[in-house]
Chain A
Amino acid sequence: MSRILMKGNEAVIHGALTGGATHFFGYPITPASEIAQAAAKYFTASGRTFLQAESEIAAINMIYGASSAGARTMTATSGPGLSLMAEGLSYLAGAELPAVVVDVQRAGPGLGNIWPEQSDYNATVKGGGHGNYSNIVFAPNSAQEMCDMTRKAFSLTDTYRMTAIILSDAYIGQMMEPVDIPETVISGERKEWAVYGDAKSRGNLITSILMKPLEMSNHNEHLQHKYRQLEEDCVEYEEYGTEDADIVMTAFGICSRLCHTVTMIMRKEGYKVGFFRPKTLFPFPGKAIKRLAEMNKTLAVVELNTGMMADDVELSVHGCSEILRYNWLGGIVPTVKELAERVAADLKKSGKSRKGGNV
């Protein structure tokens, strides 16, 4: 195994290929373009397929086709492209097709700018397109996780026949870090429901249309059952220092990296600060968060959006605990100092400002 310095965006492709991906369809967009570029290089060189689509609409529909045909397939985009893919994501969910979509978030709405925001939270975690559906959503916070989560996503998406979204951001995508390249390839297997253009699969139909209300209702129930199962089986999170903490900084993606640093610094200074990071946003680690709330921890939810995950945190704790919302927009990322001062001030305000925590 070797460690290679690479961008999170490039690491995605290393994870994808070792996760068995064979078909990449994409359209360039800053700050996600390096993913398509790395795919063009490595998918092509390894005899897999890279194709630049004429639009994100075409890309997501090529995925719909390749996935229908049984392939492990993916695309990568950023906000404006994700909006164009919304219809396709809904069709993928309706037809229960596996797919992996990477969203390297930039600031919005509209063309916005190319600096990091986390404002596609609702558009991914809550579905994105029309109808009752969910996607599996991973929230990597390092180049290594861009690789590992993408790799893992391919197996999960096949198992659950759902789209898995890697919800990254401009910093996690653009940042270079050492990445351990996985040593094995997890290839996909023949799917009994897919169309292969052969006698065995001739009777198969890929569709999302169910004209009879009862059938559509049953299909929806089936999807919801699958999502509830996912909540039992696949929640991932990490926490640090939460046991003795008065305040728990809760964040995903780039914000979780900032919170990690703030937690370390403040604990050295004696503040009882903890850290909680959902690694999956759907399924959401609501039970783990509720447990923290029941221990009377204040939860400071740090996000580069208007508080989208904080809404889910509120739903999880049912008013059990105080929720603070620290939000930055437009591509502004707070400094570590700024964040630490905010935490200290809020600790003081809540009368919980006890020092003496262990590092």
Chain B
Amino acid sequence: MIKHQKPAAFYDTFERKEPEAVSTHYCPGCGHGTVHKLIAEAVDDLGIKDRVIFHSPVGCSVFAYYYFDTGNIQCSHGRAPAVATGVRRVHKDAIVISYQGDGDLAGIGTSEIIHAANRGENITVFFVNNAIYGMTGGQMAPTTLQGQKTLTTPTGRDAGRDGLPIGMAEIINAVSSPVYIERVTLSSAKGVLKTRKAVRKGLKYQVEGRGFSFIEILSPCPVNWKMTPVESRQWMSDKLEPVFPVTCFRDAGSTGNPIDSRLDVHKAIASEEIPFMNDKELITLLNGDSPIPNIEILQLEEDQLVKIAGFGGQGVLSCGTLLAKCGIAEGIHASWLPSYGPEMRGGKAYASVILSNDEIGSPVIDDPNVLLAMNGPSLDAFENDVVPGGLIVVNSSIITRKVFRDDVAVLYIPATDIAAGEDLVAAANVILLTVYLRYKRVMPIETLKKIIPVSVNRKEFVAANLRIVDKALEYYETISQL
């Protein structure tokens, strides 16, 4: 039975509208007032007034916060489901209502409503469909009927130009996650009673934590339809309802409904919730489990401007981080700049690592004094950039040509072959790095050996990497004696 006193979820007077106001801003015969009242009554009956956070849209109901004595958020056009998602993720116990019109939800906001539905957000959406843009004065809505005259369809909506009216409940019904989808109508007293039930059900399901409810309410707009309130109700049942069938599309709460299994999914998600870490736990998490050891304070003879280049997958970037971490362990300054994005996916990778006694300014290396070339294209690309007197370490397993320059030191190391001998082809990068550090005596090789265990991601490869370092040193001894 519909009550006649003002629900407690409404303000006594609408002070946000103007002092002492008792009437709404809605036009005579408009359906919003009815929907507002049905919601307010349901909020009263469920005893959830303090918990409600009401999201008003852009459109005629933009001022819903004039009336609802609840928490209120006014949202940008079409985005209420995203805003409601943000609120939902902060307050698990709040009752989150998104109230939207047809321009807001079915036009500008289709993306937000579909994805909020698909995430199964535990919110209730009231979609008031009156087949026209009311607030802006009567332009075409996505739900405007074929042939219907509006300010932007003066000769009537033309399906050939504008498409046909869009059924949002049907679209939401194509999404698996929602628990309750129903279309109701305000065209008759009976329809209003059914709407009252649907509004309650949508809110009750949220209180019970069941998930996403979507209630589409066909609603009259006599002023913009240019009809009397009575005519407009007749038009709804004659014209609107045949296009937008009034029916329950899905109700997970009713017995025997196959969607019931969905409730278990929601429960499963809830049970996996990770506890909120305290400050100490958080700091421990952020510090990670592989701190870089402090070894000694090293003074470099000169800044190391190292370019490491090769195919993607040759460990170019990780070789760079290994070197940078060695620098940090030694107490010197280090920076690492990668190639990134599609360039990487194209298979060309390089990293620029700077080690310096002083604070590092530019992390960009234009003229490296060390080039570790893992493949031919890298040598071609960077050979000429190396400063005179610099060092080029060539992976001679893959690069068949010699270095053209005669003003730089060159070491030819069959790194891929040596690494293959140890069943770890991916560690050819470590071989070039070891030889470079040894040749230039940048830092003790012991530092590298201490950093490998904290730098190699897959712990089962630590031992093999350490073995590779020794192999590299062995090979270096053979060539340095020549």
Contacts and interface: CB of A to CB of B under 8 A. Distances in A.
B292 A197 contact: no
Using C-beta atoms within 8 Å of the partner chain, give the interface range for chain A.
Answer: 35 or more
Given A114-B340, A196-B94, A54 B324 contact: no
A61 B65 contact: no
Interface string A199-231: 101111111110000000000000000000000
Interface in A152-192: 170-171, 174-178, 181-185, 187
A181 B74 contact: no
Nearest to A183: B283
A193 B88 CA distance: 18
A4 B291 contact: yes
A198 B111 contact: no
Interface residues of B, number: 74
B328 A3 contact: yes
Interface string A86-97: 011001000100
B86 A198 contact: no
A55 B111 contact: yes
B288 to A, nearest CB: 6
Given A4-B291, A61-B112, A205 B16 contact: yes
Contact of B292 (A4, A49, A95): A4
Contact of A23 (B90, B277, B361): B90
Interface string A47-78: 11101011101110111111111110100000
A93 to B, nearest CB: 12
Contact of A17 (B112, B286, B328, B342): B286
Contacts of B341: 30-31, 114
B292 A5 contact: yes
A22 B274 CA distance: 13
Given A5-B324, A57-B111, A195 B72 contact: yes
A209 B57 CA distance: 11
Interface in B281-300: 281-283, 285-288, 291-292
B111 A337 contact: no
A264 B358 CA distance: 11
B86 A67 contact: yes
B62 A66 contact: no
Given A65-B73, A181-B283, A205-B74, A4 B288 contact: yes
A119 interface: no
Contacts of B336: 5, 175-177
B286 A14 contact: yes
A175 B338 CA distance: 7
B287 A181 contact: yes
A42 B51 CA distance: 30
A207 B73 contact: yes
Contacts of A257: 360-363
Given A174-B338, A177-B334, A42 B286 contact: yes
Interface string A140-156: 00000000000000000
Contacts of B49: 202
Contacts of A336: 361-362, 364, 366
The dominant DSSP class at the B interface is mixed
A339 B476 CA distance: 40
B324 A49 contact: no
Interface in B11-34: 16
B50 interface: yes
A54 B90 CA distance: 19
Interface string B46-84: 000111110100000010010001111111100100111
Interface string A238-272: 00000000000000000001111110100000000
Given A177-B336, A185-B282, A197 B91 contact: yes
Nearest to B292: A3
Nearest to B96: A197
Contacts of A45: 274, 277, 285
B197 to A, nearest CB: 25
A195 B87 contact: yes
Nearest to A59: B82
Given A65-B84, A178-B334, A181-B286, A23 B89 contact: yes
A347 interface: no
Contacts of B201: none
A201 B71 contact: yes
B295 to A, nearest CB: 13
A71 B321 CA distance: 35
B86 A66 contact: yes
Contacts of B210: none
Contact of B340 (A46, A174, A333): A174
B276 interface: yes
Closest 5 CB pairs of A and B: A65-B86, A197-B94, A261-B361, A195-B71, A61-B82
Given A197-B53, A260-B359, A262-B361, 5 more contacts: A23-B90, A47-B277, A54-B115, A69-B53, A176-B336
9 contacts: A46-B276, A46-B277, A58-B85, A59-B82, A64-B79, A171-B337, A175-B363, A204-B72, A337-B367
